[in-house]
Amino acid sequence: MADFDLIIIGGGPAGLTAGLYAARAGMSTVLFEAKDVGGEILNTELIEDYPGFESVTGAELAQKMADHARKFGLRIETYAPVKQIRLDGDRRVVELADGTIHTAYAVIVTVGGEPTKLGVPGEAEFHGRGVSYCAVCDGAFFKGADLAVIGGGDSAFQEGLFLTRFAKKLYVVHRRDEFRAQQILQDRLLGMDKVSTVTPAVVREIGGDASGVKWIDVQKDGSIERLPVEGVFVFVGFRPVGRYLFADHVDHDQSGYLITDQYMQTSIPGVYAAGDTRAQLAKQVTTAVGDATTAVLAAERYIEELKHAGRAFPKAPREVIARTTERMQLRTFPPGATVIREGDEPDYLYVIAHGDAVVTRRDATGGERVVNELHEGDYFGEIGLLTGEPRNATVRAKTSLEVLAMDLEAFRMLVRSSRATAEDITKVAAARR
Ligand code: NAP
């Protein structure tokens, strides 16, 4: 078993971006990928909408991203499918299919998904013998053949364009007359003589013989039409698979996409999601890499906060530390700035993450006297939260100061979590009164 700061699951653009940032930040990180690095872009021949790359093959972009991350020291384990993610205190446990266990403070899930199936007779039977979900992978097997591409989105049109290199004739079969693919892709594909549309039409059956697919039956205008084809390339959507990795409940939408907050955190503290497995507007390389950047920066902050909270309250159960960390906010103060003021109503407890603070109290003459100095790992503000009374001292930043602010609800959760923690906090408070 190995323990890391961060485990990234999935080696597509999102995972490799998260890995690049994590490696550059010096986090101990491993990336597990079930197959080879690249993810969904390996199934795309040409990418023409990734800024800076006017036209690049999916395979080349994948290789460049992986090389870039490796150059900064990212450890990438390929052909290492993950079986399950579960929780153990403040650690996230990642079990691989081969039974190996790894742990980390945070996990970023970037596993994408798998193609949606048509669910018609013959589809499963002829999978690999004429039915395909990847033109880039299988198109070259069909030189000079009549082919059909099913679907009306960007994937169907991108892959369809690739298939025109090999196909004698290409049918675009779609359930509506309107296509949702980008106009530029529609113009390119539908402008070719060898391409004809079959719409609105629904595939009912795929048939053939021992050598493979020979026809598809489509329902059009109330009757069944048989199209003689040797290859059927299906692009009718995508099923996100991230949620199936979780042993515990994780929030997802009706289609199974993982729901995150603006920092890409799922409903489980310390577990983030980015890329095609996350609920979002667009499945693009650009959004995947952007969201992965947010996820890794948020994970880095979460891990740091978790470690600070763990050091400040060493006797609290680790899962409570993880849950309170989720509710903490990082605040920064320049030297001389006031964090809490004597007489104010209590609202937060503060844990010092970096820097020093000075504690003062008003004296009888109306002046202020220094009563304490606080350093990294110390906390303050507990008396007000314990008693509900106004602040009995002022705390100012002595140096540039970073504190973790814990709200009352999180503080109560912490105090109730263990008798030893409650006693420690009460003792600190008693010594300061
Ligand atoms: P998509 O945009 O969801 O399109 C799926 C297509 O399949 C739709 O036309 C849909 O029809 C049809 N469909 C769905 N279920 C069907 C069924 N049961 N039977 C028949 N047809 C069915 O999926 P996608 O094309 O895979 O693209 C996914 C995402 O990746 C999109 O956001 C897309 O923009 C992006 N992408 C971008 C590029 C690029 O070059 N930028 C390339 C590939 C993909 P309806 O239209 O009637 O719903």
- Domains, the chain, in order of start with CATH, read 4-113+238-311 (3.50.50.60), 131-234 (3.50.50.60), 314-432 (2.60.120.10)
Q: How far is the CA of 234 from the centre of ligand 1 (A)?
A: 10
Inter-CA distances, 433 with 14, 61, 380, 386, Å: 51, 62, 12, 12
Q: How far is the CA of 237 from the centre of ligand 1 (A)?
A: 5
276: DSSP letter: G
pLDDT given for residue 136 in this prediction: 82
Type of residue found at 82: V
> Can you state the percent helix, strand and coil of the chain, rounding each to 5?
30, 35, 35
The finding on whether 283 has its CB within 6 A of some atom of ligand 1 is yes
Task: Provide the residue-wise pLDDT of the chain in tens; the chain has 433 residues.
Answer: 789 999 999 999 999 999 999 999 999 999 999 999 999 888 777 888 899 999 999 999 999 999 999 999 999 999 999 999 999 999 999 999 999 999 999 999 999 998 999 999 999 999 989 999 989 878 989 999 999 999 999 999 999 999 999 999 999 999 999 999 999 999 999 999 999 999 999 999 999 999 999 999 999 999 999 999 999 999 999 899 999 999 999 999 999 999 999 999 999 999 999 999 999 988 889 999 999 999 999 999 999 999 999 999 999 999 999 999 888 989 999 999 999 999 999 999 999 999 999 999 999 888 999 999 999 999 999 999 999 999 999 999 999 999 999 999 999 999 999 999 999 999 999 998 8
**To test ligand 1's pocket by mutation, which of 49, 197, 236, 284 has the most ligand atoms within 8 angstroms of CB?**
236
Nearest 5°: the CA angle 355, 356, 358 is 155
**To test ligand 1's pocket by mutation, which of 57, 180, 187 has the most ligand atoms within 8 angstroms of CB?**
180
Catalytic residue status for 138: yes
Confidence (pTM): 0.83
pLDDT given for residue 362 in this prediction: 94
Catalytic residue selected from 137, 177, 261, 347 = 137
Q: Which atom of ligand 1 is nearest to the CA of 285?
A: 41
Catalytic residue selected from 5, 90, 138, 291 = 138
pLDDT given for residue 293 in this prediction: 98
Q: How far is the CA of 419 from the centre of ligand 1 (A)?
A: 55
pLDDT given for residue 46 in this prediction: 80
Burial classification of residue 159, based on how many CB atoms lie within 10 Å of its CB (0-12 exposed, 13-18 middle, 19 or more buried) = buried
Q: How far is the CA of 191 from the centre of ligand 1 (A)?
A: 20
Q: How far is the CA of 151 from the centre of ligand 1 (A)?
A: 7
Q: Which atom of ligand 1 is nearest to the CA of 118?
A: 18
pLDDT given for residue 393 in this prediction: 96
Q: How far is the CA of 186 from the centre of ligand 1 (A)?
A: 13
The finding on whether 175 has its CB within 6 A of some atom of ligand 1 is yes
The token pair at 221 is 């205008």
Is 361 in contact with 318 (CB distance < 8 Å)?
no
Smallest CA separation from ligand 1 atom 34, residue: 154
Catalytic residue status for 209: no
The Cα 54–Cα 367 span in angstroms is: 67
Catalytic residue status for 137: yes
Q: Is 258 helix (H, G, I), strand (E, B) or coil?
A: strand
pLDDT given for residue 333 in this prediction: 97
Closest CA to 41 of 63, 18, 69, 71: 63
Smallest CA separation from ligand 1 atom 14, residue: 236
Any alpha helices (H) in 164-317, and if so which ranges? 183-190, 285-312
Which residues in 248-407 belong to E strands, given as ranges?
271-273, 329-333, 338-340, 348-354, 357-362, 368-374, 379-380, 394-397, 401-407
The finding on whether 235 has its CB within 6 A of some atom of ligand 1 is yes
